[in-house]
Amino acid sequence: MPNDAVVTYQQVDADGLVVAALAGEMDLDRADAVRDSLAAAAASGECRYLNVDVSEVTFIDSYALGALVSARNTAASNGVSLTLTNPSQPVRKAIQVTGLSHVFGLPATT
């Protein structure tokens, strides 16, 4: 998986664990590129588990959340488990407000 301007990848182990790191603002301008990049990683055949580190995401809008859901669904159709890890406060809040906590396996808080 090549790194690009939007997503940085690291192959963690031979069992197919790949970590993708997102940083900065996730909005309409970047969402499609992120979705396509994550989907390509999931379809590569080298990846069984795709952990997406969103700790450095400073802003995320609903379009970008939709792109992450789409990437998750594409990953699942390829037998890959996509998990968001280390969600920043903006990501956590956006996921909770939109009711997507269960989709990404994050605890729902009040």
Domains and CATH numbers, the chain: 7-104 (3.30.750.24)
Phi, psi of 14 (to 5 degrees): -75, -10
User: Nearest CA to 68 among 99, 37, 90, 46?
Assistant: 37
Is 19's pLDDT higher than 80? yes
Predicted confidence at residue 104, as pLDDT, reads 82
pTM of the model: 0.86
Lowest mean pLDDT among 8-12, 99-103, 105-109: 105-109
What pLDDT is stored for residue 109 in this prediction?
A: 63
The average pLDDT across 73-96 equals 94
Say yes or no to pLDDT of 3 above 70: no
